[in-house]
Amino acid sequence: MTMFSRAGSITPRESVSLLPAYAAGKPPQAAEGLTPYKLSSNENPLGPVPEVARAMAAVDTLHRYPHPNAENLRAGLAKLLDVPVEDIVAGTGSLGALTQIINAFAGSNSDGSQDEVIYAWRSFEAYPIVVRTAGAKDVTVPVLEDGRHDLEAMLAAITEKTKVLMLCTPNNPTGPALRHREVEAFLAKVPGDVVVVIDEAYQEFVRTEDPLDALALYRKHPNVAVLRTFSKAHGLAALRVGYSIAGAEITRHLRVVAAPFSVSTVAEVAALASLEHLDQVLERVDSLVAERERVTAALTEAGWTIPEAQGNFVWLPLKEQTAAFAEAAGLQALAVRGFNGEGVRVTIGEVEANDRFIELCRTYRFPA
């Protein structure tokens, strides 16, 4: 038997070496006399409704594999949303559902070319990781000064290589949500062979005139896929449950690349229990929206100019002052999410945490 000797270190494929690192929200640091609060990960401070814990505790099949494709959850969602069950594909959070779409429709080709994926930037920081891992090329379009998607520039960025285009609404981390009429007009100009992903991780928090009806767009446009999650409004971030909604022309390919058993039995049971008590979930969302409005009003009164907040967070476009503000928040036992040179995203958390954040903004003095 011939033995090969090859010097050098083990290296990943090129696309992996070029990936940006995902920076998860850090926990708060301790400060004497202050309760620490984590406002860095857009978590729901209210948690899930009580019935979820009871449903999880009743699971007695941990020695068995879960349903391969989360069949019970998909059936519950199909009934609630009035869509065919075949049009729903479950995943490990909406990010898992997005990964399925990118893996199915965009990557590198046998001739060495790369498919292109268009998205706004700054937007969800996992986008470049998912796109580049698949071997595709990301094409970023800067958001407007007010944090909104520049839809005209996104249309101009479409080429023959474009396979997927992503819309994040409300946009994470800047906050604004897209309106229905503008997206309807946008889709009329997008080629029908480009998959348009509408990422609605925060859709339950939207309170705008002409709110986006993504399900109506999916029903009208075969190239539209909608992403949703149980992590935010439902307070189930630790369980990683999400899903996509799209027509058969898309979902038949997603089922090929989707990993089986991606949603655990405990997660499926919890998500179903949350759906069965959706009125309670939405009451909690309403209370968080009210807190968001209180916080944004206080910041405006204090002289801050911030983008329209339609998620469960606010965005401070601090640019070069980002690190200094994040440090100041840390001294107040508040963990916030700073994006170097761009701004700070602050989750709407517990009332005491929000009060402390407001007071910090009222008294903060920018370094000379």
CATH number at residue 97: 3.40.640.10
Do residues 114 and 242 both lie within one domain?
A: yes
- Using the 3D structure, point to which of 246, 276, 306 is the last residue of a domain: 276
Q: Is residue 174 part of a domain?
A: yes
Q: Please, which pLDDT band fits residue 66 given cuts at 50, 70 and 90?
A: very high
Q: What is the pLDDT of residue 24?
A: 65
Do residues 260 and 151 both lie within one domain?
A: yes
Q: What is the pLDDT of residue 26?
A: 72
Residue 364 corresponds to which tokens in the numbers above? Answer: 């903060």
Kindly report, residue by residue over 178-219, the tens digit of the pLDDT: 999 999 999 999 999 999 999 999 999 999 999 999 999 999
Read off the amino acid at residue 251: T
Q: Compute the average pLDDT of residues 311-330.
A: 97
Q: Compute the average pLDDT of residues 61-83.
A: 96
Q: Is residue 115 part of a domain?
A: yes
Q: What is the pLDDT of residue 259?
A: 87
Do residues 324 and 352 both lie within one domain?
A: yes
Do residues 112 and 193 both lie within one domain?
A: yes
Do residues 220 and 343 both lie within one domain?
A: no
Q: Is residue 11 part of a domain?
A: no
- Between the alpha carbon of residue 295 and those of residues 198, 286, 312, 345, the distances in Å are 27, 14, 11, 13
Q: Is residue 1 part of a domain?
A: no
Do residues 63 and 212 both lie within one domain?
A: yes
Is 90 exceeded by the pLDDT of residue 132? yes
Is 90 exceeded by the pLDDT of residue 366? no
Lowest mean pLDDT among 11-20, 153-162, 165-174, 275-284: 11-20
Do residues 177 and 236 both lie within one domain?
A: yes
Kindly report, residue by residue over 224-255, the tens digit of the pLDDT: 999 999 999 999 999 999 999 999 999 999 99
Q: Is residue 291 part of a domain?
A: yes
Q: Please give the span between the terminal C-alpha atoms of the chain, in angstroms, as a whole number.
A: 71
Q: Compute the average pLDDT of residues 288-313.
A: 98
Q: Is residue 9 part of a domain?
A: no
Q: Compute the average pLDDT of residues 103-130.
A: 96
Query: What percent of the chain stands above pLDDT 90?
Result: 89
Read off the amino acid at residue 217: L
The whole-model pTM stands at: 0.94
Q: What is the pLDDT of residue 52?
A: 98
Domain that holds residue 232: 50-276
Q: What is the pLDDT of residue 32?
A: 86
Do residues 121 and 197 both lie within one domain?
A: yes
Q: Compute the average pLDDT of residues 147-163.
A: 98
Q: How far apart are CA 171 and CA 148, in angstroms?
A: 7
CATH number of the domain encompassing residue 315: 3.90.1150.10
Structural domain total, the chain: 2
Do residues 129 and 223 both lie within one domain?
A: yes
Is 70 exceeded by the pLDDT of residue 25? no
Q: What is the pLDDT of residue 28?
A: 79
Q: Is residue 17 part of a domain?
A: no
Of 132, 136, 130, which Cα lies nearest the Cα of 168? 130
- Is 248 in contact with 86 (CB distance < 8 Å)? yes
Is 90 exceeded by the pLDDT of residue 8? no
Do residues 149 and 249 both lie within one domain?
A: yes
Helix (H, G, I), strand (E, B) or coil at 173: coil
Do residues 94 and 38 both lie within one domain?
A: no
Q: What is the pLDDT of residue 44?
A: 98
Mean pLDDT of the chain: 94
- Using the 3D structure, point to which of 276, 311, 336 is the last residue of a domain: 276
- Using the 3D structure, point to which of 261, 276, 291 is the last residue of a domain: 276
Lowest mean pLDDT among 23-27, 123-127, 346-350: 23-27
Residue 92 corresponds to which tokens in the numbers above? Answer: 């490990």
Q: Please, which pLDDT band fits residue 1 given cuts at 50, 70 and 90?
A: low
Q: What is the pLDDT of residue 368?
A: 60
Q: What is the pLDDT of residue 13?
A: 72
Do residues 81 and 224 both lie within one domain?
A: yes
- Between the alpha carbon of residue 130 and those of residues 42, 95, 96, 258, the distances in Å are 20, 9, 9, 14
Q: Is residue 3 part of a domain?
A: no
